[in-house]
């Protein structure tokens, strides 16, 4: 399989890195720091591949190790070296695909490469990283009895929220302005922390979105709050001009529609039902509030006004 110059350099560097696995991490990183540039110069001179010019990566690693004062660090060629070279080839392909993507997306953003535009967003990322770090700390210190909100407010203390947010922002900006960590473990720890904050931000975003969907509004209908004066009426008692109770009275409105008030039922003082003898009002003549003389029966039938009385005029 034909490899480009960048792929060949990446494969060779990875082979040298695997061969130097026995060295301290700081020494190994120092030896490999300028190796890609040196290998690019070797290829530019021509005369064959890196393997042909410099020999196997393990042999070249032995020379680097010896120059640093270490011996017997080179690993023999074998199955481990072949696996390392295969992994390096795949890594080189991924790097090449990322470079192509970087170069194609860049013009859309107005830059030769998208990475150049992302560099301008670093200060914004520093601020966002500080906010996410403060929120993560507040989440771990929160009692979870009440919602945390959008501020790092552990225990609901606003002053603690301001202090924690300020420390997070200042610490993140200070970390961003520093040079890239030299040690491999420091870089891995920084990448691990960044990945954790990204996952924390995604989960928090979906939590806030779910809470916003749950807090929908109810349609509030306005009703007349004035009390109904007929709501407590259970029976109707009608008296004539002489103060006598009229029994079997029918009530109609101006449109000839019957008026129904109360419930057509009657109970004695013990709560037992009493049969209703006459249609109309009152349902319980014996429970009239005023007893003046003998009750007189009205001549109005139960089905409507009497024939002799004028019929109600329909409403217009």
pLDDT score at 75: 45
Percentage of the chain lying above the pLDDT 70 cut: 75
pLDDT score at 180: 66
pLDDT score at 73: 43
pLDDT score at 304: 47
Sheet holding 238-239, edge to edge: 238-239, 245-247, 296-297
Residue 282: cis peptide before it, omega within 30 degrees of 0: yes
- The structure's pTM equals 0.43
For residue 190, pLDDT over 80 is answered with: yes
pLDDT score at 165: 92
- Could you tell me if residue 258 is left (phi over 0), alpha (psi between -120 and 50 degrees) or otherwise beta? beta
What digits encode the pLDDT tens for the residues 280-306?
888 888 788 876 555 555 544 444 444
pLDDT band of 145, cuts 50, 70, 90: low
For residue 315, pLDDT over 50 is answered with: no
pLDDT band of 49, cuts 50, 70, 90: confident
pLDDT score at 124: 93
Residue with the larger pLDDT of the pair 268 and 304? 268
State the Cα angle at 168 between 142 and 120, rounded to 5°. 135
Residue with the larger pLDDT of the pair 185 and 207? 207
DSSP 8-state secondary structure symbol assigned to residue 281: B
What digits encode the pLDDT tens for the residues 31-48?
888 888 888 877 777 767
Q: Residue 281 contacts by C-beta under 8 Å, 6 or more apart in sequence?
A: 235, 236, 237, 238, 247, 248, 249, 250, 251, 261
pLDDT score at 2: 44
pLDDT score at 166: 93
Least confident piece of the model among 129-138, 151-160, 208-217: 208-217
Residue with the larger pLDDT of the pair 33 and 87? 33
pLDDT band of 307, cuts 50, 70, 90: very low
Short-list 118, 114, 133, 117, CA closest to 174: 133
Cα of first residue to Cα of last residue in the chain, in angstroms, is 99
What digits encode the pLDDT tens for the residues 124-144?
999 999 999 999 998 888 776
Q: What is the mean pLDDT of residues 112-124?
A: 88
pLDDT score at 77: 46
For residue 184, pLDDT over 50 is answered with: yes
Q: What is the mean pLDDT of residues 148-176?
A: 86
Q: Token pair 């020379």 is at which residue?
A: 63
Mean pLDDT value across the chain: 76
Pairwise CA distance, residues 126 & 128, whole Å = 6
DSSP 8-state secondary structure symbol assigned to residue 205: H
What digits encode the pLDDT tens for the residues 71-81?
544 444 455 55
pLDDT score at 126: 92
Percentage of the chain lying above the pLDDT 90 cut: 9
Q: What is the mean pLDDT of residues 261-269?
A: 80
Q: What is the mean pLDDT of residues 145-154?
A: 76
pLDDT score at 269: 76
Pairwise CA distance, residues 48 & 35, whole Å = 18
């Amino acid at each position: 399989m034909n490899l480009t110059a960048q792929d060949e350099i990446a494969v060779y560097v990875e082979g040298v890195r695997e061969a130097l696995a026995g060295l301290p991490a700081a020494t190994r990183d120092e030896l490999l720091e300028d190796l890609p540039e040196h290998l690019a110069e070797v290829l530019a001179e021509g005369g064959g591949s890196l393997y042909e010019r410099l020999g196997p990566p393990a042999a070249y690693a032995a020379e680097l190790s010896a120059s640093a004062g270490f011996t017997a660090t080179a690993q023999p060629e074998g199955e481990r070296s072949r696996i390392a070279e295969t992994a390096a080839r795949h890594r080189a392909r991924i790097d090449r695909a990322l470079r192509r993507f970087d170069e194609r997306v860049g013009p859309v953003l107005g830059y030769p490469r998208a990475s150049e535009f992302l560099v301008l967003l670093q200060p914004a990322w520093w601020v966002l990283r500080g906010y996410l770090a403060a929120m993560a700390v507040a989440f771990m210190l929160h009692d979870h009895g009440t919602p945390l909100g959008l501020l790092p407010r552990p225990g609901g203390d606003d002053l603690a929220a301001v202090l924690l947010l300020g420390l997070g922002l200042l610490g993140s900006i200070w970390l961003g302005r520093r040079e890239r960590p030299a040690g491999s473990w420091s870089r891995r720890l920084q990448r691990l922390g960044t990945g954790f904050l990204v996952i924390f931000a995604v989960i928090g975003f979906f939590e806030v979105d779910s809470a916003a969907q749950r807090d929908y509004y109810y349609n509030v209908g306005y009703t007349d709050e004035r009390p109904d004066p007929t709501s407590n009426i259970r029976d109707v008692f009608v008296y004539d001009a002489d103060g006598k109770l009229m029994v079997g009275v029918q009530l109609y409105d101006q449109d000839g529609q019957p008026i129904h008030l109360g419930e057509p039922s009657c109970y004695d003082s013990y709560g037992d039902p009493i049969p209703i003898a006459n249609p109309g009002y009152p349902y319980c003549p014996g429970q009239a509030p005023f007893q003046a003389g003998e009750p007189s029966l009205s001549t109005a039938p139960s089905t409507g006004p009497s024939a002799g009385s004028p019929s109600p005029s329909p409403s217009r």
